[in-house]
Structure 1
Amino acid sequence: MSAVAGGGRMPLDALLEDFTVYLSAERGFSPNTVRAYRTDLRGLLAFAEGRAVCDADGLTLDLLRDWLWVATQAGLSKATIARRSASARSFTAWLTRTGVSPLDPAVRLRSPKPGRTLPRVINRAQMQALLDHLEPAGPGRRSA
């Protein structure tokens, strides 16, 4: 029997397992995406357990923000923080849809804006080396 069907205050670990089945079976997420979500959420649940939170009612906006803040302070990239935020939002939204939680605490949880970087370009010497390796266009042959 699934944790959701069991109702009541189910352990977060059991809810996480049901959520990963949902991601795979119903949403059709790839195994890599499901693995990334599971890893992120296991980290969240460990963080929550360290704060004496053992059920979905303890997953508050403040707890989620603290979890992301600790990750930021640990030097994780903006992209990783954004993915963790997305994982948490998906999980708490699912908890609400399935009736486990009356309210979704992550509705107001925001992700950091990813940094924009300029594209890498090659220098003149690299371009010349590339051109030197091209087959020369002879008479009657068109160059690319």
Structure 2
Amino acid sequence: MNNMADMFATYLEFKHIEGFSREDLLDQRQSVVFRTNVVLKGMAVPVGVIIDNSPYVMVRANIATQAITDENAFAVSNLLMRRNYQNRLFKYYLTPDASVILDVCIPYQKGHFSAELVYNIVQLMVKEIMEQYKEFVSVIWLTD
């Protein structure tokens, strides 16, 4: 049983927040993923809130899959470095399969979990995605 995940689910229900699906992974860490999407110009950007029995909650967005090519590698790397330098809360990185990921790690002390804080950070991530997505699209897919 993951009490923090239950608290987050209760918060979403109490605030009448829809659009999240819950997946209990049934692993050693009692991981629960709350999934949603940010839809921009017909494209869905998956966002997940990952809550487990560690003292951290991860909020993660998959900005683009297989984003690196020979033609755009420098520009994408440059964009990730600039965004990371300009933003203290969110960190962009590349996965081994060349996906661009946006992460935030929220620490909390035992007994001091705040579902409201987690949801507020999700909202900030959505805002970040909406503000930056056009530039990522133009750099990754080399469009204007």
**Same fold (TM > 0.5):** no
How does the TM-score come out when normalised to structure 2? 0.30
Q: Which structure's residues are more often strand, by fraction?
A: 2
Larger-gyration structure (1/2): 1
How does the TM-score come out when normalised to structure 1? 0.30
